[in-house]
Structure 1
Amino acid sequence: MEPATWWEILLGGLAALLVVLWFRPGIKAALERSRTAKKDWPAALIPLALVVVFVLLLIQLVRN
């Protein structure tokens, strides 16, 4: 496979720049919503802890 020519590299860089500029308003709005959102860590940590305990239980059952 031959290396990319200068115009292909330039076109790829331009496409990446356009994608960043296109998604920028949505990213900015999402960051603003996350700053103002209610912090509800127990809703995420309790199920995660239950999964960890369940996996540890399964490991212990397989070992014995």
Structure 2
Amino acid sequence: MALLVTTYHRQGYYSKAESIYQAVLDLRCKVFGDKHLVTIRAMANLVLIFRDQGRWKEAEEL
């Protein structure tokens, strides 16, 4: 799944990538908590999607 979402992101399919990254983030928050490294990495991936779309406010809020 990581390869798929990375491909979506790199090819500019931001909506598809965002929904997958968000689902991963939600799951990791539930399983590991919001301070765990794997959760923070998921947050960073979502921030990159926001950045690439110029959605700076959403990126900063996350």
TM-score normalised by L of structure 1: 0.31
Compare CA radii of gyration and give the structure with the larger one: 1
